[in-house]
């Protein structure tokens, strides 16, 4: 009997460890992170990883099906599009574009949003008023419609040094996304600015920028990371919607959204042209959502409330 | 869209389940799609019943067809139905074509071979000197819903309307010249005769030849004068359309559907179907889905959908050659200096010369660049793949259906595909490393206009010419045609023309409202000359000169001539269809039930 | 409260003005649509006459002023391409879009709420995970892609519903699913957390201790409370549904406002475009205002501040 007790105790101890590990592992988003790193890898190393040329295709090999369908070849694992370009290659390069568009949009929008949010929260008063009104106005505009009109009107004439039509899209998206950052940062600042260590810094004579940079901002970073991660998916979805409506990243650049739009006339016969980039978008955005959620739970559970807006 | 996130613990099971579902989906998708996957290189489509040989339209204008009971519902889908515009002066595309095929009839009609046949004009006489035409109108032709009978008054009213103020008709000037000639004009000695005196306009018109053109037969629906006067133009324009055609309008819902029903005991041909529904379905996939499920009997179809549509049980095809001719415009070649043109030419661009003198070195260099662009395109490959073989290459802009008048030029005016030579030309012109160029992919209702632009850009990469491409709806690009402000290329296409001069005189001269990117004193001179003579031989001689000059100087990039292919669903059968204004299906009253 | 409302209203007006100005400028920069109404063979005089008849020869300021004057009276002018009053075009299509929006909203409720309840009761089970997966897909997949895939599976391959248009009763199903799927996730979550909150509350614990049967607890007490958040959320959804209709209507040829907007952009039809954008903006703002008012009502600080 005693032996059993001792043994079962030992057993329980080790199984608790294993089970804990398992539970921990179940909770960490291993697969999402894996998928995301695939996407990033593809985006960064596209020229070396992709099997073919994304811009040029062989017209004679147009609309070839993926390898697992009858008459598909290994040469074009995901098939070819209506101009004979390899779909797999374009999906890989598409990752690059999606990432760049998302990254630039978030950088611009994020910076503007953070700065304005900091100012609104810290200074209060009429500065706060103005910025919050701007927020309200930005939120009130039906984004997709306005973006559509703008891109169709001036997209092709938008100067190259600003990025051409893609640059315009980035600017339009950024001008909407700063709002998210601004509101959350402002909320955080309002909370932090009354804390003791900030008061101490003020008393010690630190200038406002210094306080903002060294005392306030670090408290806000966690939040920012989470919000940014969750917004990448949104940017990708909106960009692909604009492409579908004809106002996206212009050809022949392989952006996932444009690729889905390109293929929509061929759904009956060459379904893979639209489906593959569509699946890419789906998997990427899902992974971003899951990863972002996990990050939030790790870094700042309070944000669960804020996600409600 | 508001973005709400799901904040709950997710574990790997979820994601694994997710991947599993997706994989399953893909396998199911491709499993059922295997039979519709296309083969690699398209073979020329076997049009089950291609109607390209000229056959007379079965209905003789004077004999009445045996009256049969109309039955069933005929469903047609177009990519664009357009808003309701039921009055001649405001009709543009695509209403013109759709309206003429259904509710209205015009003075003449074209058969499937492209020949003029009588319609509301039953017969005509031309005076010996050729200046006076006497048109005998069909008798006993009622308007819909019991609104009286068609008489000369209505015809004259319709003509008046289309040249009246506010008209957007393109043939305004020509119509005015013919029908409203100074010192001449129209008169009607009795309700079914119209006498047109074209004397004062001087030169003779070959009525038969001109009548085959859109000048007279197309785009002139004969309206009921009393109906419009009773209702007022506003209402008649939009709400209550009536005409003499074999279909009468029941309900028109803008951008959605037009419901029509067969006219009982029509004077010419009572339709075989009792109801006609014309749908607007902008998306190609939507149309195909509807066609596959049998909701639609015929439709606008992209040639690239042929492999899929071919596989539908019981499908047939109607194939009309010469439906459209496409080209890529080269903009910025403004060599006629005028005060009103704000945009001077930009000699910095590789394809533009600062010197309009065709003997100068600058001109030669610019010409070499344009020529390089032309000879580095494998047009045969494009026709074979993008069009699935339903078309021919084109090297002479505007001459579709008039190749016979080109004679020996048919052999000499050909851009031979030679990328090597193109590279040499570019190097000679001073661009050994190529250059950048903007390409606006404007959509036109002809198959492949956007794809040919994309393909051209990929082919040009071989000679180091790099395109910046943008998709542009016509509404956004058209203003560039008008103010000549674009510095690049754009894809375009036009339908069949009565003669190349029509497009030369409207789009390649300073007097034209729009312009395809080229104005030059040589063209101004020659085109003017051609316009002023009415002798067919002479006209075409001058047009040949223009064609030669255009080819030698490569001021435009002609691409191909495309056939119109319409699918015919299993509920209906093929019919003789009027040729060559094929933005819509014609002669729907003759569509038979499939036995 | 009064001050708050007044401020919100003032803001609404300002926003509308800004939006209309933006659209006005954008549309005109790209060039005028009169060029679209002529064909390639028209004469210069025809074009000029057309421009004058459309009022496009006046200066921008003048045009905008005329537009504002009329808009205030509810007159948005005439559609250039369709030659009918913009107002009548919009009213015609309003019903269709409302129908679609309502159907989509109902779909998101009928799917999201049960999934949320299920998720709260049977946490972390396999069924729960699959439910979350469905919700997640709705939020992560591009709506136009969903629409097209649905069309091909259910309309073409299986033939259960018509692929497009608004002619039959079943035509609304696919567009409604396409539009509403996005919001399933939100409803799921809201219901789930609301139910969890309630289930953990003292009140429920007492009921359990008293021996009230479990199903009764769930349905009678928890569920009712859990319904409140999604309904509040409906206000926010309304605005998004209307704008989201742009894509769904284009794919399924559903004759609503969204498709009208797309046509207006494609044809550079200014008056129509302005009218439609203003209509959208009004709905957006109205729904935001409604939500703010509701929250303000609930939150005493704003109510009495």
End-to-end CA distance of chain C: 7
Calculate the CA dihedral of residues B292, B293, B295, B298 and round it to 10 degrees: 10
Residue in B493, B466, B490 with CA at minimum distance from that of residue B476: B490
Look at residue C262 and tell me whether its pLDDT is greater than 80. Answer: yes
Looking at per-residue confidence, does B18 or A219 come out higher?
Answer: A219
Beta-carbon separation of C142 and A268 below 8 A: no
Q: Which of C12, C137, C142 sits opposite A237 (nearest CB)?
A: C142
pLDDT band at A15 (very low <50, low <70, confident <90, very high): low
State mean pLDDT over C172-187: 88
pLDDT in tens, C110-135: 888 888 888 877 777 777 777 888 88
Residue B294, burial from CB neighbour count under 10 angstroms (0-12, 13-18, 19+) = middle
At a CB cut-off of 8 Å and minimum separation 6, what does B82 contact? B92, B93, B94, B95, B98, B255
Find residues 49-88 of chain B whose CB sits inside 8 Å of chain A: none
Which of B384, B452, B468, B472 to mutate to test binding with chain A, by most A CBs within 10 Å of its CB? B468
Q: Are strands B465-472 and B435-442 parallel, antiparallel or unpaired?
A: parallel
In this prediction, residues B470-479 reach a mean pLDDT of: 79
The predicted structure's pLDDT at residue C118: 81
CA distance C210 to chain B (A): 31
* Rounded-to-integer distance, Cα C37 and Cα B278, Å: 22
Higher-confidence residue: B203 or A33? Answer: A33
Q: How confident is the model at residue A9, as a pLDDT?
A: 55
Strand partners, B252: B258
Residue of A68, A165, A308 lying closest to B4 (CB–CB): A308
Q: What is the distance between the alpha carbons of residues A272 and B326, in angstroms, rounded to a whole number?
A: 29
Judged against a pLDDT cut of 80, whether residue B309 lies above it is answered with yes
Which positions ≥6 away from A75 have C-beta within 8 Å? none
Q: What does the pLDDT average to over C152-167?
A: 76
Task: Give yes or no for B16 touching A (CB within 8 A).
Answer: yes
Cα separation, B550 vs B361, in Å, equals 18
pLDDT at C300: 53
How far apart are the CA of A175 and the nearest CA of chain C, in angstroms? Answer: 14
pLDDT score of B64: 43
CA A38 to the chain's CA centroid:
14
Q: What is the pLDDT of residue C183?
A: 85
B451 CB neighbours in chain A (<8 A) are 82-83
Q: What is the pLDDT of residues B220-229, one digit of tens each?
A: 788 889 888 8
Structure confidence by residue, pLDDT tens digits, A199-226: 777 777 777 777 777 777 777 787 788 7
Q: Which two tokens stand for residue A284?
A: 């990427």
Query: Which pLDDT does position B407 carry in this prediction?
Result: 87
Task: Please determine, for residue C234, whether its predicted confidence score (pLDDT) is greater than 90.
Answer: no
The C-alpha atoms of residue C272 and residue C275 are separated, in whole angstroms, by 5
Question: What's the pLDDT score for residue C221?
Answer: 67
Q: Which range scores top for mean pLDDT: B12-21, C22-31, C276-285?
A: C276-285
Average pLDDT over residues B127-136: 81
B311 touches chain C (CB under 8 A): no
pLDDT at B246 over 80: yes
Angle A50-A53-A55 (CA atoms, 0-180°, nearest 5)?
130
**pLDDT for position C32:** 66
Residue A288 predicted with pLDDT over 70: yes
Q: How far apart are CA A308 and CA C226, in angstroms?
A: 15
Tokens of B563: 């056939």
Displacement of CA B70 from its chain's centroid (Å): 31
Q: What is the pLDDT of residue C113?
A: 84
Least trusted range by pLDDT, from B12-21, B322-331, B533-542, C197-206: B12-21
Band of the pLDDT at A25, cuts 50, 70, 90?
Answer: low
Partners for B (CB, 8 Å, 3+ pairs)?
Answer: A, C
What residues of chain B lie within 8 A of the CB of A307, using their CB?
A: 4-5, 7
In angstroms, the CA B400 to CA B410 distance is: 11
Count Cβ atoms within 10 A of the Cβ of residue B312 and give its class: 0-12 exposed, 13-18 middle, 19 or more buried.
Answer: middle
Chain C 237-296, CB below 8 Å of chain A: which residues? Answer: 242-243, 246-247, 250, 261-262, 265-266, 268, 273, 276-277, 280-281, 284-285, 288
Nearest CB to A290 within list B4, B10, B283: B10
Q: What CA–CA distance (Å, rounded) separates A233 from B433? A: 40
With bands split at pLDDT 50, 70 and 90, how would you rate the model's confidence at A2? very low
Q: Write out the DSSP string of B474-506.
A: HHHHHHHHHHT---SEEEEEE---S-HHHHHHH
Nearest to B469 among A250, A292, A307 (CB): A250
Each residue of C81-111: pLDDT tens digit? 777 788 888 888 888 888 898 899 889 888 8
Nearest Cα neighbor of B466 from B441, B438, B494, B495 is B438
Structure tokens at C146: 């969903």
Q: Between chains, do C240 and B2 touch, taking CB under 8 Å as contact?
A: yes
Q: Is the pTM of this model over 0.90?
A: no
Which of A44-48, A113-117, B164-168, B236-240 has the weakest average pLDDT?
A: B164-168
B326 band by pLDDT with thresholds 50, 70 and 90: very high
pLDDT at residue B578 is higher than 80: no
Per-residue pLDDT tens digits for B253-285: 877 889 999 999 899 999 999 999 999 887 788
Least confident of A80-89, A207-216, B187-196: A207-216
Q: For residue B484, give both structure tokens.
A: 């000549």
pLDDT of residue B57: 37
Q: Answer with the residue of higher pLDDT: B572 or C3.
A: B572
Pick the more confident residue, C43 or A222. Answer: A222
Q: How many CB atoms lie within 10 A of CB B528?
A: 13
Q: B14, C49: Cβ pair inside 8 Å? A: no
What ipTM goes with this model? 0.77
Q: What is the per-residue pLDDT for B567? A: 94
Among B198-202, B459-463, B470-474, top mean pLDDT goes to B459-463
What confidence category does residue B7 fall into, taking pLDDT thresholds of 50, 70 and 90? very low
The answer for B 469-508 residues in CB contact with A (under 8 A) is: 469-473, 476
Mean pLDDT in residue range A115-138:
84
Q: Looking up tokens 């006067």, which residue turns up?
A: B229
Q: Which has the closest alpha carbon to B434: B414, B395, B411, B462?
A: B462
**Could you say which DSSP state residue B565 is in?**
E
Percentage of residues in chain C having pLDDT higher than 70: 82
For the stretch B27-81, pLDDT in tens is: 555 544 444 333 322 233 333 333 333 333 333 333 444 455 789 999 999 888 8
Smallest CA-to-CA distance from B158 within B146, B148, B169 is with B169
Backbone φ and ψ for B442, nearest 5 degrees, come out as -95, 140
CB contact under 8 A, B3 and A234: yes
Mean pLDDT (chain B) is 80
In chain B, what percentage of residues exceed pLDDT 90? 33
Q: Does pLDDT of A192 surpass 90?
A: no
User: Cβ of C15 under 8 Å from any chain A Cβ?
Assistant: yes
Distance separating alpha carbons of residues A90 and A70, to the nearest angstrom: 22
Q: How many CA atoms lie within 13 A of C234 on its CB side?
A: 16
Would you say residue A307 has pLDDT above 50?
Answer: no
For C169-181, what is the mean pLDDT? 89
Question: Considering chain B, what percentage of its residues have pLDDT values greater than 70?
Answer: 82
Helices (H) and strands (E) in chain B, counts: 18, 19
Q: How far apart are CA B289 and CA A183, in angstroms?
A: 46
Determine the distance from the C-alpha atom of residue C282 to the mean position of all C-alpha atoms in its chain, rounded to a whole number. 12
Q: Across the interface, which of C84, C133, C259 has its CB nearest the CB of B14?
A: C133
Looking at the predicted structure, is the pLDDT value of residue B491 above 60?
Answer: yes
Whole-angstrom Cα distance, residue C201 to residue B187?
Answer: 94
Please name the helix (run of DSSP H) or strand (run of DSSP E) that holds residue C251, with its range, or none.
helix C223-252
Distance of CA A142 to the CA centre of its chain: 21
Separation CA B459–CA B64 (nearest Å):
56
pLDDT at B400 over 80: yes
DSSP symbol at B541: H
- What pLDDT sits at residue B40? 28
Residues 6+ apart with CB under 8 A from B256: B81, B279, B280, C165, C166, C253, C255
Helices within chain A (DSSP H only): 2-27, 30-49, 87-123, 125-140, 143-154, 164-192, 196-203, 208-211, 217-244, 256-262, 272-299, 303-306
Q: Which of A30, A264, A293 sits opposite B283 (nearest CB)?
A: A264
Quickly state the pLDDT bin for B182 (edges 50, 70, 90). confident
Q: Tell which residue, B460, B448, B452, B472, has the closest CA to residue B422.
A: B460
Q: Does the pLDDT at position B415 exceed 90? A: yes
CB distance A169 to A240 below 8 Å: no
**CA B583, CA B432: separation in Å to the nearest integer?**
43
Q: What is the pLDDT of residues B375-391, one digit of tens each?
A: 999 999 999 988 988 99
Q: Which two tokens stand for residue C1?
A: 């409260």
In this predicted structure, the answer to whether residue B184 has a pLDDT above a threshold of 90 is: no
**Environment class of C225 (CB within 10 Å of its CB; exposed 0-12, middle 13-18, buried 19+):** middle
Query: Rounded distance, CA C260 to CA B257, Å?
Result: 15
Q: Which of A112-121, B152-161, C190-199 has the lowest mean pLDDT?
A: C190-199
The tokens for B21 are: 């579902």
What does the pLDDT average to over A48-76?
Answer: 87
Please compute the mean of the pLDDT values over residues B141-158 and round it to a whole number. 90
Which residues, including other chains, have CB under 8 Å from residue A104's CB and lie 6 or more apart? A170, A174
A186 has pLDDT over 60: yes
Joined together, the tokens standing for residue C12 give 């609404």
Closest by CA to C97, choosing from C263, C233, C244, C237, is C244
Give dist(CA B303, CA A228) in Å, integer. 44
Cα(B496)–Cα(B170) distance, integer angstroms: 15
Range of weakest confidence among B3-7, B416-420, C50-54: B3-7
Backbone angles phi, psi at C72, to 5 degrees: -60, -30
| Interchain proximity A289–C136, CB inside 8 Å | yes
Look at residue A148 in the predicted model and tell me its pLDDT: 84
Closest among B336, B371, B333 to B352, alpha carbons compared: B333
Q: What are the tokens at C109? A: 């409720």
Which of B3, B5, B6, B19 to mutate to probe the C interface, most C CBs <10 Å? B6
Q: Which residues in chain A are closer than 8 Å to B382, comparing Cβ atoms?
A: 59
Average pLDDT, chain C: 77
Return the minimum-mean-pLDDT range out of A294-298, B311-315, B459-463: A294-298
For B80, the closest chain C residue by CA position comes to C263
Q: According to the model, what pLDDT value does residue B39 have?
A: 30
Chain A residue numbers with beta carbons less than 8 Å from the beta carbon of B438 are 156
Confidence band for A104, pLDDT divided at 50, 70 and 90: very high
Please, are residues C148 and A267 in contact by the beta-carbon 8 Å criterion? yes
Record the tokens describing residue A12, joined without a space: 């329980």
Distance from CA of A203 to the nearest CA of C (A): 31
**Cβ separation C140–A139 shorter than 8 A:** no
């Amino acid at each position: 009997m005693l032996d059993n007790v001792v043994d079962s105790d030992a057993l329980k101890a080790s199984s608790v460890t294993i089970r804990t590990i398992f539970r921990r592992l179940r909770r960490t988003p291993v697969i999402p992170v894996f998928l995301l790193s695939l996407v990033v890898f593809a985006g960064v190393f596209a020229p070396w990883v992709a099997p073919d040329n994304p811009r040029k295709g062989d017209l004679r090999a147009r609309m070839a099906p993926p390898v697992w369908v009858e008459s598909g070849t290994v040469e074009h694992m995901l098939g070819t599009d209506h101009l004979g370009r390899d779909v797999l290659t374009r999906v890989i390069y598409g990752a690059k574009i999606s990432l760049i568009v998302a990254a630039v949009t978030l950088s611009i929008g994020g910076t503007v949003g953070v700065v304005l949010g900091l100012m609104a929260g810290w200074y209060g008063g009429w500065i706060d008023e103005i910025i919050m009104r701007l927020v309200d106005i930005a939120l009130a505009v039906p984004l997709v419609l306005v973006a559509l009109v703008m891109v169709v009107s001036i997209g092709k004439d938008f100067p190259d040094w600003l990025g051409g039509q893609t640059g315009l899209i980035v600017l339009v998206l950024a001008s909407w996304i700063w709002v998210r950052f601004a509101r959350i940062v402002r909320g955080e600042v309002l909370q932090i600015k009354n804390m003791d260590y900030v008061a101490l810094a003020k008393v010690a004579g630190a200038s406002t920028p210094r306080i903002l940079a060294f005392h306030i901002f670090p408290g806000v970073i966690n939040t920012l990371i989470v919000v940014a991660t969750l917004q990448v998916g949104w940017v990708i979805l909106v960009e692909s919607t604009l492409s579908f409506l004809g106002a996206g990243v212009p050809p022949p650049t392989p952006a996932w959204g444009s690729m889905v739009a390109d293929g929509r006339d061929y759904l009956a016969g060459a379904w893979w042209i639209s489906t593959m980039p569509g699946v890419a978008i789906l998997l990427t955005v899902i992974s971003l959502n899951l990863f972002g959620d996990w990050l939030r739970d790790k870094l700042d559970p309070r944000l669960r409330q804020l996600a409600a807006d | 869209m508001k973005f709400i996130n799901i904040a709950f613990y997710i574990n790997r099971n979820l994601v694994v389940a997710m991947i599993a579902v997706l994989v399953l989906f893909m396998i199911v998708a491709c499993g059922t799609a295997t039979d519709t996957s296309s083969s690699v290189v398209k073979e020329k489509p076997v049009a089950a019943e291609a109607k390209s040989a000229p056959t007379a339209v079965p209905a003789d204008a004077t004999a009445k067809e045996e009256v049969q009971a109309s039955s069933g519902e005929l469903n047609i889908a177009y990519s664009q139905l357009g808003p309701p515009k039921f009055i001649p002066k405001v009709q543009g595309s695509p209403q013109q074509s759709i309206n003429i095929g259904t509710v209205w009839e015009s003075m003449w009609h074209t058969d499937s071979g492209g020949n003029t046949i009588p319609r509301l004009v039953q017969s005509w006489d031309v005076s010996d000197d050729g200046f006076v035409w006497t048109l005998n109108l069909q008798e006993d032709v009622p308007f819909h819903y019991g609104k009286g009978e068609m008489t000369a008054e209505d015809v004259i009213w319709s003509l008046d309307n289309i040249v009246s103020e506010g008209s957007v008709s393109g043939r305004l000037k020509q119509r005015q010249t013919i029908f409203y000639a100074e010192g001449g004009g129209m008169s009607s000695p009795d309700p079914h005769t119209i006498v047109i005196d074209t004397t004062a306009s001087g030169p003779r018109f070959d009525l038969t030849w001109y009548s085959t053109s859109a000048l007279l037969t197309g785009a002139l629906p004969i309206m009921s004068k009393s109906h419009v006067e009773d209702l007022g133009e506003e209402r008649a324009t939009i709400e209550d359309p009536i005409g003499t055609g074999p279909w009468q309008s029941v309900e028109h819902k803008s951008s959605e559907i037009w419901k029509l029903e067969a006219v009982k005991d029509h004077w010419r041909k009572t339709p075989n179907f009792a109801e006609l529904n014309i749908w607007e379905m902008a998306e190609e996939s939507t149309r195909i889905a509807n066609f596959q499920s049998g909701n639609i009997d015929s439709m606008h179809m992209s040639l690239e959908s042929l492999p899929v549509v071919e596989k539908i049980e019981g499908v047939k095809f109607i194939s009309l050659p010469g439906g459209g001719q496409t080209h890529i415009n080269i903009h910025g070649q403004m060599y006629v200096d005028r005060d009103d043109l704000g945009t001077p030419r930009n000699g910095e661009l590789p394809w533009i010369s600062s010197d309009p003198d065709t003997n100068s070195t600058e001109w030669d260099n610019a010409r070499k660049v344009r020529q390089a662009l032309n000879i580095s395109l494998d047009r045969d490959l494009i026709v074979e793949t993008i069009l699935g073989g339903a078309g021919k290459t084109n090297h002479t802009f505007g001459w579709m259906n008039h190749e016979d008048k080109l004679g020996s030029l048919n052999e000499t005016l050909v851009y031979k595909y030679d990328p090597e030579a193109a590279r040499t030309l570019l190097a000679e012109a001073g661009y050994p490393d190529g250059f950048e160029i903007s390409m606006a992919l404007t959509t036109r209702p002809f198959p492949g206009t956007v794809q040919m632009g994309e393909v051209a850009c990929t082919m040009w990469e071989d000679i180091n010419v790099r395109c910046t491409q943008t998709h542009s709806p016509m509404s956004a690009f058209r203003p560039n045609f008008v103010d000549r402000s674009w510095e690049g290329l754009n894809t375009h296409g036009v339908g069949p023309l009565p003669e190349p001069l029509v497009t030369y005189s409207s789009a390649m001269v300073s007097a034209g409202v729009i312009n395809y990117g080229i104005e030059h004193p040589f063209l101004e001179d020659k085109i003017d000359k051609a316009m002023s003579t009415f002798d067919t031989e002479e006209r075409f001689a001058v047009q040949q000169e223009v064609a030669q000059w255009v080819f030698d100087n490569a001021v435009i990039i002609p691409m191909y001539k495309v056939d119109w292919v319409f699918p015919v669903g299993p509920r209906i059968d093929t019919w003789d269809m009027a040729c060559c204004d094929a933005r819509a299906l014609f002669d729907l009253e003759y569509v038979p039930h499939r036995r | 409260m009064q001050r708050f409302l007044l401020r919100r209203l003032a803001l609404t007006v300002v926003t509308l003005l800004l939006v209309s100005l933006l659209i006005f400028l954008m549309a005109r920069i790209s060039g005028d649509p009169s060029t679209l109404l002529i064909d390639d063979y028209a004469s210069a005089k025809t074009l000029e006459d057309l421009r004058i008849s459309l009022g496009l020869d006046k200066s921008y300021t003048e045009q905008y002023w005329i537009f504002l004057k009329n808009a205030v009276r509810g007159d948005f002018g005439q559609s250039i391409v369709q030659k009918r009053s913009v107002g009548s075009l919009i009213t015609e299509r309003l019903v269709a879009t409302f129908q679609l929006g309502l159907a989509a909203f109902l779909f998101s409720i009928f799917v999201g709420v049960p999934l949320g309840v299920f998720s709260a009761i049977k946490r972390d089970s396999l069924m729960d995970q699959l439910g979350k997966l469905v919700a997640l897909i709705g939020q992560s997949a591009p709506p136009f892609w969903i629409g097209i895939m649905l069309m091909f599976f259910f309309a073409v391959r299986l033939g259960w519903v018509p692929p497009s248009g608004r002619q039959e009763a079943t035509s609304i199903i696919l567009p409604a699913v396409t539009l509403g799927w996005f919001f399933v996730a939100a409803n799921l979550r809201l219901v789930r957390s609301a139910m969890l909150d309630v289930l953990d509350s003292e009140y429920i614990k007492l009921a359990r201790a008293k021996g009230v049967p479990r199903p009764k607890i769930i349905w009678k007490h928890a569920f009712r409370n859990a319904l409140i958040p999604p309904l509040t959320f409906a206000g926010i959804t309304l605005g998004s549904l209307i704008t989201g209709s742009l894509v769904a209507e284009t794919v399924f040829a559903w004759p609503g406002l969204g498709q009208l907007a797309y046509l207006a952009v494609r044809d550079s039809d200014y008056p129509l475009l302005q009218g439609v954008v203003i209509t959208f903006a009004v709905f957006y703002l109205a729904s935001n205002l409604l939500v703010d008012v509701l929250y303000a009502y609930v939150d005493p600080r704003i109510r009495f501040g």
